Amino acid sequence: MKALLLLADGFEECEALITADVLMRAGTEVVLAAVKSETEVVGSHGITVKANELVSNVNMAQFDVLVLPGGGEGTEALAASYRVKELIEAAVNEGKYIAAICAAPSVLGRMGLLDGRNIACYPGFEKYMPAANVTGAKVETDDIFITGEGMGVTLQFALRITELLYGADTAEKIAEQIRMEK
């Protein structure tokens, strides 16, 4: 399995890196792609991460899941990127999982992709998804869309992606390995 995780300046570091870590523990090849013209991306708390690739060089056909971490400024950069929208549309057309956490579901919401769907998002971002059903769950799955409420549920979010890609047994083994409290 292969995951494409998009990083734009202002991304929420924990949401991106914990998700990448959990997916890698499951055996996923994770590609961190910078949504800019250079590979160094600065998170919302000033932590610089070096991406593996530029978003301009990736093809969604090579991936099984697309991951959008939150962070206010990072989410705005994702939403403003034509290339990000192309990748999201390709993932939808190919029936691939799209996982978005915190503010990032708003990117999908602005595209009308969450209309009528059960979702989770950071409080206040519902305004970008008026036709979605914010259920109050910490992590929500509806068809190919996996959404999470915020940084505090990143492990649950990442384990849900793992479960969908590899099955419940693999997700449970990783939860045990990392000593996740149930």
Q: Which helix (H) or strand (E) holds 102?
A: none
Of residues 83, 82, 62, 79, the one with CA closest to residue 71: 79
Is residue 176 classed exposed, middle or buried when 0-12, 13-18 and 19+ CB atoms within 10 A define those classes? Answer: exposed
- Annotated catalytic residue: which of 3, 102, 114, 139? 102
Cβ 125 vs Cβ 70: under 8 Å: no
Cβ 32 vs Cβ 49: under 8 Å: yes
Please tell me what DSSP assigns to residue 145: E
Tokens representing 39 are: 């590979």
Cβ 35 vs Cβ 8: under 8 Å: yes
Is 102 catalytic? The answer is yes
Give catalytic residues, as residue numbers. 102
